[in-house]
Structure 1
Amino acid sequence: MARPDRLMRLLDTIRRLPQPVTAARLAEEMEVSERTLYRDIETLRSGGALIDGAAGVGYTLTEDPALPPQMFSRIEVEALVLGLSEVRLAGDPELARAAELALAKITATLPERVQRQAIHAVNHVYRMERRPPAPAHMAILREAAWEERAVNLTYQDLDGERTERRIWPLGIVFLDRTMMCLAWCCLRQDFRRFHLGAMENVRLSEESFRPRRVPLLRDFIDKMRARTNDTPSV
């Protein structure tokens, strides 16, 4: 790993872990020796990061030069903590990890008083009944929507019938107990809602539908609003 990339990863690691974090823990997370870790800490300090602590004591990031200063009201802090906590519970591993890192980055930009409010937030998320784990192909669908690329898959409908589909993924919706992909179905030549759990053998194709995702998604949402009681069969 290039040293600039390692230094950015080290900043992310200090943000994420409970502070003060020991050099031994940081070295383990970074997969480097403690000697290398000490040198990297000094490099970050030279670059403007205010990192309190020393070897044998632990380190605390008190000011982060990589992030702009931000100010949130107390209720905004609560909303951020609550929302990102929900993503950590509901998302696939990649999305859950992103939520954890995002919260750490946001918290690192806050003044000390507001940081304490974020760390000791009043609102929390707990699910007595957990959703089924997010399927691994959720990441493929997300990538396809970002890149506006068609996806091939096998789909099992409500009657148990399997069909081969090519879809244009437009967005993913989190419902109470399931997740659905809003998409244009090339087989049906219409908008459809696909249960992620009913998808198999999901794979990216080379077909691009750029730049149609945003207008198609807008049209799909408008149609759903106009037909709130109509659920088309897929």
Structure 2
Amino acid sequence: MSRSERLLNLLQVLRGHRRPVSGHVLAAETGVSIRTLYRDIASLQAQGAAIEGEPGVGYVMRPGFMLPPLMFGQEEIEALVLGMRLVADSGDRQLAQGALSTLAKIAAVLPPDMRRELEASALLVGAGRKALHTPVHPDLLRTAIRTEHKLRISYRDPAGAVSQRVVWPYALVYFDQTRVVMCWCELRDGFRNFRSDRITEAALLDQRYPKHRQALLKEWRRTEFVAGRSILPETDSIAK
């Protein structure tokens, strides 16, 4: 294990402890000697890590600490680049800009050799991906999910019939050619999934829905498991 990987591992271990933990425990968890641990903590503190404590007392890292410019592994670099490139190619302008901005920020804090690895990554997104046309802007859907607000939507089914719904959106699933909004539907009194390209109109309501989105997602997973269904039904027959 390289020194940079060892320091990153120590940061990850410290993140998992909310209370001060002794140097001997940290040394055991990271697989180093106590002397090496003390040197690594001093090195991280010199780089700006908000680690508080001292030998014999214990160590804790303050919440909200931003990682210093440490190395990523080769697979981590490739995963970051490929993931951000896929998002940038998704056709959603706001997310695409966010992905490119994220890559730029990561590159800015990487050591020079790792920055070159990131910029020269040979993992590319294939051409010919069909841009998805959605009557409703994806940012509205993400806002509703993030703020846990109800949506009033008009939805066109595969036969062309349009229905009016009030839904509680709690997740947005990205497929290659479509997106699916996962909701609790007040009309059907149950979980329903809606293709975003079939939502013809949507309005964000002032009302927050009565459950947290994580609770809805957990409940949905439980009902899917009990019913023995796959993660998502076929997208051509999602909402009824």
The question of a shared fold, defined as TM-score above 0.5 by the shorter chain, is answered with: yes
Distance 1:177 1:81 in 2: 21
- Name the residue aligned to 1:157: 157
Distance 2:76 2:195 in 1: 33
Q: Secondary structure of the equivalent of 2:203?
A: strand
- Name the residue aligned to 1:72: 72
- Name the residue aligned to 1:166: 166
Q: How does 1:77-96 map to 2 (within 5 A)?
A: 77-96=77-96
Distance 2:178 2:192 in 1: 16
Q: Secondary structure of the equivalent of 2:150?
A: strand
Q: Secondary structure of the equivalent of 1:82?
A: helix
- Percent of matched pairs sharing the same residue: 32
Distance 1:230 1:94 in 2: 28
Distance 2:152 2:88 in 1: 28
Distance 2:197 2:233 in 1: 21
Distance 2:75 2:67 in 1: 22
Among candidates 221, 226, 229, match of residue 227 of structure 1: 229
Q: Secondary structure of the equivalent of 1:167?
A: strand
Task: Tell me how large the CA RMSD over aligned residues is.
Answer: 2.1
Shift in Å, 1:198:
0.4
Decide which structure has the larger Cα Rg and report it: 2
Distance 2:166 2:77 in 1: 41
- Name the residue aligned to 2:144: 144
- Name the residue aligned to 2:30: none
Deviations 1:85-106 (A, max 9, x none): 0001115111111001011111
Distance 1:96 1:134 in 2: 16
Distance 2:140 2:146 in 1: 10
Deviations 1:94-125 (A, max 9, x none): 11110010111111111000000000002111
TM-score (norm 1): 0.67
- Name the residue aligned to 2:41: none
Q: Secondary structure of the equivalent of 1:90?
A: coil
Task: Figure out how many residues of one structure are paired with residues of the other and give that number.
Answer: 169
Unpaired runs of 5+ in structure 1?
1-65
Do the aligned residues in 2 keep the contact of 1:166 with 1:186 (CA within 8 Å)? yes
- Name the residue aligned to 2:102: 102
Q: How does 1:194-213 map to 2 (within 5 A)?
A: 194-209=194-209, 211-213=211-213
Deviations 1:138-182 (A, max 9, x none): 111100111000011111112211111111111111112111001
- Name the residue aligned to 1:186: 186
Q: Structure 2: which amino acid aligns with 1:117?
A: E
Shift in Å, 1:227:
1.2
TM-score (norm 2): 0.65
Shift in Å, 1:137:
2.1
Unpaired runs of 5+ in structure 2?
1-65
Shift in Å, 1:211:
4.4
Shift in Å, 1:224:
3.3
Do the aligned residues in 2 keep the contact of 1:149 with 1:210 (CA within 8 Å)? no
Q: Secondary structure of the equivalent of 1:75?
A: helix
Shift in Å, 1:130:
2.2
Deviations 1:190-209 (A, max 9, x none): 00010000002211001102
Distance 1:93 1:133 in 2: 12
